Amino acid sequence: MNLLPHNKSLRSLSLRDPSGTLFEIGTQLIRQIHSPSSEDWNQIKRSPTLKKFTEKGLFVRSWEITDADISTLPPELSNKNNNATQDIYLGHEKIDFVNYPSEWAPEMLREAGLLTLDLATELSAENLGLKDATPFNVLFSGCLPVFVDVLSVEKRDPHNSLWLAYSQFSKTFVNPLLAYQHLGQPLYKTFLLSREGLTATDFYTQIPFLKKLNPSLFTKITLPAILESWSDKKLRNHPNTEKLMNPERAQFTLQFLLKNLKRSISQLNFNHKPQNTQFNNYMSGESPYSHQQFESKERLVKKWLALHSRKSILDVGCNDGHFSRIAASLGRKVVAIDSEVELISKTWSMSRISHPTLLPLVVNIANPSPASGWRNQEHRSFLDRTQGQFDCVLMLALVHHLLTTESILLQHIIELAKELTTEHVIIEWVSPLDPMFQHLKKGRDYTHLTVEVFEQQCLKHFTIIEKETLPGNTRTLYCLKKLFLS
């Protein structure tokens, strides 16, 4: 096997853990485990827990690269450090669409947290553990979380009852979930501000006195914040990170801590508050469609989705994911985005069992996730990640919202559609005469935006394969094919 096309670009994807580096070489993911961590790997790879989680699809599939194939790796990778001869190289299965916690619904962050805790609990019985516990160790493959950071697993001192990653778990899982529940702070606000999440001290300062005594916040926020402040003022040194005791008691204490965390995040109930009432749920009584209109729309979308052998679909402005589920049920991989957390929570909850290939994400297409992290290179921007990924893009009942609420010009919306797709776009034009458009325009004049103007803009970048006006004459659906000369 020739791993490497030497001419392919090599990009380092991990920057923080000194025990190894993850590289992207062309379309392949290669992880280099540096010595001495490579010696531990030989024990870790035999872990029955890792085998079990891998078989269930919850731990990333990996394989060791043989000596013969190592010689085909790019020289800059194999000479990365002086002890490279003792390094181990792993190949990893790629997740279709990379996604970050700032784009998840709270239920997804909780699911990733439960996976992390389950893994830590089961590993502890084998004297293994997780050295870090951040949601960036988890990616969603469709609706299912996959633990992808192989190097997070390490040997554990059986005498030590402390979990050093507890603080990181609290800051990046527990506190952001509690902040969503108690402060209504969405995850994108937490994680775009800091990839390290939310400290107990920062949370503590944002809640009123009585809430500090709330049983669910007292042990998770109030006490750690008070202890943190006390230790900063009173202690000269950082407290000992080892609390040694007999292994049986250490194991009992650690597992009790992990179970306590699991119970506390499992019990969280998220009372979603709609952020924007102008977006109506297709299925609710407030739907802007008549029954007849909706049936026609559904029929057309189904027909156009089935027409071509499309593999991956991006549903922009997916609402409650109705059309995303139709695409997923046709065997397509679907990424469904919407700016409303409530709708993405609903889409994830409705799809996780029945449509596992559907990945719902909280992304506002008018202000998509930016590149972030170290040198703005650690986490790629949403638009960068979409490049070349989707052969069909759905933009249903979206254009009029972008025109009015976001004040984006029509030509830019069509240009974005061209950039997002490699082949087709299924797009809905809502005329300014439509009651929903009338509601959104708030006194502004959009009468110049006729269906002819819309088609002219589309024809700059696409050919119109088929179009059909829905009953009522204010909404028209188009199936467009991208022009490759534009």
Q: Under the criterion CB under 8 A, does residue 13 sit at the interface with other proteins? A: no
Strand order across the 390-395 sheet: 358-362, 333-338, 312-316, 390-395, 421-430, 475-482, 462-469
Out of 71, 83, 86, 231, name the contact with other proteins by CB under 8 A. Answer: 231
Q: Which helix (H) or strand (E) holds 313?
A: strand 312-316
Nearer to other proteins, 138 or 414 (CB): 138
> Residue 213: what residue type?
L
Piece in contact with other proteins (CB under 8 A), picked from 20-28, 69-77, 232-240, 434-442: 232-240
Phi, psi (degrees; rounded to nearest 5) at 345: -60, -45
Q: Give the residue from 78, 80, 13, 88 showing the smallest Cα distance to 44.
A: 88
Number of residues that bind other proteins (CB under 8 A): 45
Q: Give the residue from 61, 82, 84 showing the smallest Cα distance to 71.
A: 84
Piece in contact with other proteins (CB under 8 A), picked from 115-123, 251-259, 310-318, 367-375: 251-259
Q: Under the criterion CB under 8 A, does residue 166 sit at the interface with other proteins? A: yes
Any idea of the CA torsion for 5, 6, 7, 12, to the nearest 10 degrees?
Answer: 100
> Residue 414: what residue type?
I
Out of 240, 269, 277, 447, name the contact with other proteins by CB under 8 A. Answer: 240
Q: Under the criterion CB under 8 A, does residue 238 sit at the interface with other proteins? A: yes
Q: Which helix (H) or strand (E) holds 338?
A: strand 333-338
Q: Report the C-alpha gap between 207 and 60 in whole angstroms.
A: 39
Q: Interaction with other proteins in 255-294: which residues (CB under 8 A)? A: 256-257, 260
Print the binding letters for residues 196-215 with other proteins: x by CB under 8 A, - otherwise: ---xxx--------------
Q: What angle do CA 286, 291, 294 make, to 5 degrees?
A: 90
Piece in contact with other proteins (CB under 8 A), picked from 15-23, 62-70, 366-374, 386-394: 15-23
Out of 45, 80, 131, 212, name the contact with other proteins by CB under 8 A. Answer: 131
Peptide bond into 101 cis (omega under 30): no
Out of 16, 61, 299, 303, name the contact with other proteins by CB under 8 A. Answer: 16
- CA 119 to chain CA centroid, Å, is 20
Piece in contact with other proteins (CB under 8 A), picked from 96-104, 240-248, 337-345, 403-411: 240-248
Out of 12, 13, 17, 472, name the contact with other proteins by CB under 8 A. Answer: 17
Q: Under the criterion CB under 8 A, does residue 223 sit at the interface with other proteins? A: yes
Residues that bind other proteins (CB under 8 A): 16-18, 131-132, 161-168, 170-171, 199-201, 219, 223-232, 234-235, 237-243, 245, 249, 252-253, 256-257, 260
